[in-house]
Structure 1
C-alpha cells in the first residue's frame, strides 16, 4: 500500500513508450479524464510501479465535460480493445463538477454522465468542485461542512505549498503539471486518502452535484494500488 508522505512512483512522463507485446498483458485498465495535462500526467505517473507485462494502464485526457468524457470513454474502450484484441477489464472516468450547476442544460448533462457511466459499467472518480481538491488533501484538512469553490482550492493549494521550506515562491497555475512533482515531494498521500474518505462519508447519500467538498480520486488510487500489489506479489 502507499506509504506516508509520497505519491508512490510518480513521475512526469510526456512520451510513454508503449509496450511492443501488448497482447502479453494480463489486465487492461483505462482511465479517461477531463484534463489533458495535469490529470492525465498524474495517472500516467503510476505506470513506473507496475510490473512488466502485467497491468496495462492507459490514461487519456479529453478536455470535455462530464458527459463528453463518458461518451469518449466508450470509444476509447473500443479502441483499446481493438489494439489488444480482447476486452478491457476496467474503465474509470474522472471528471469535476465545475460549472455543472450553472444552468439546466449543464445539470442535465452532468446527471446523464452518471447514468451513462453506470449503464456502461464504468467506475466514476468525480470531484466537487475540482480535481485539485485531491492534491490539496495531501497538505491539509478541508472542512466537509463548508463548500469550497475551485478558485479557493487553487488559492489554498498555492498557500499550503508556499508554507513548506524551499517552496516559498511557488506560484500555482491551473493546468501546469509542475504542481504534481511538488505534491509528490511534500505531500502526505496516506493523509489525503484518509481525508478524502472523511469527505465521502460526510456527503454520503447526497446528490453529487451538491456534495461539496468531495473527491473520489482516492478510490481510484486505492484500486490501482490493489492491482499493482497483486501483480507485484504474482511476480
Structure 2
C-alpha cells in the first residue's frame, strides 16, 4: 500500500472540514461520523453511500495507511481541529472511527502493530472497525458464514465469483466501490448476524489471533440508526 503524502492528507482534511462547517451552518446536525479508512477507495466509498438522514453528517476519508500509522494520523488530524476533546467518554453524537485490516504478510511485528493500533484507538475514545485478515471478509459474510481463515486473494476470488467480475482489478476502483452499498444491501442483515456470531466466537482471543473476524458490523449498525426514513 502506498502512503499518501502528509501534505496531501492535511489538504484533503481541511477541504472536508471547510465543507462540513458550511453544512453545519446551514442545517441542524445532531450526529457526526468521522471515519478514517486504511483503503482509499473501497471502505470510504462504501460508507459514504449509506443514505443517512439530514440530521447526520458522515465524513469518510481514506488515508492510505494501516494499523498504528492510521490511528496516529487520525488522532493528529482530529486534534488539530479540536475534535478529540472529551472523546475519552465516547461522545455518542460525535463518533470517531478507524477502519483497517490485519493484512498479515509474514512479519511477526505486524501482530503487535495490529494489537497496539486497536488499543491506542480505544484509549483515545476512537472506535475500531477492524478486520482480520481483510475488509473483504465483511462482504463475504453477506453470502456465507466463514469460520476458516482465508488469504486476501481467496476472499477476492469468492467476491469475483459472486459479483461476476475481477474483484482484485475492477472491484477495488473508486467507481465500482460506489456501488457496493447497493449491491450488498439486501443481504446486509445476514452479514450483521454472521459477523456478530463470528466476533462472539473469537471474543476471548487476542485481536491478532481472531482470524477470521470483523467488527465492521458495529459501524454499519451505528450508521443504520441514522438512515433516512
Q: Give the shorter-chain TM-score range.
A: 0.7 to 0.9
Measured in 1, the distance between the counterparts of 2:206 and 2:36 equals 22
Of residues 98, 102, 117, the one that matches 1:97 is 102
Q: How does 1:49-198 map to 2 (within 5 A)?
A: 49-51=52-54, 54-81=55-82, 89-99=94-104, 102-138=106-142, 140-144=143-147, 146-162=148-164, 170-173=165-168, 175-177=172-174, 178=176, 181=179, 184-185=182-183, 187-198=186-197
Q: Would you say the 8 A contact 1:172–1:179 is kept in 2?
A: no
Between the two proteins, the alignment pairs up a number of residues equal to 201
Aligned twin of 1:201:
200
* CA-based RMSD: 2.7
Could you list the structure 1 runs, at least 4 aligned residues long, displaced by more than 3 angstroms after superposition. Answer: 15-19, 79-82, 85-88
Q: CA separation of 1:180/1:78 partners in 2, compared to 1, >3 Å: closer, same or farther?
A: same
Measured in 1, the distance between the counterparts of 2:73 and 2:130 equals 16
Q: Structure 2: which 5+ residue stretches go unaligned? A: 1-14
Q: Structure 1: which 5+ residue stretches go unaligned? A: 1-14, 163-169
Q: Which has the higher contact order (CA 8 A, sep 6+)?
A: 1
Q: TM-score, normalised by structure 2?
A: 0.77
Measured in 1, the distance between the counterparts of 2:31 and 2:80 equals 16
Q: CA separation of 1:156/1:183 partners in 2, compared to 1, >3 Å: closer, same or farther?
A: farther
Q: CA separation of 1:159/1:123 partners in 2, compared to 1, >3 Å: closer, same or farther?
A: same
Q: Would you say the 8 A contact 2:49–2:181 is kept in 1?
A: no
Measured in 2, the distance between the counterparts of 1:172 and 1:214 equals 21
Q: TM-score, normalised by structure 1?
A: 0.75
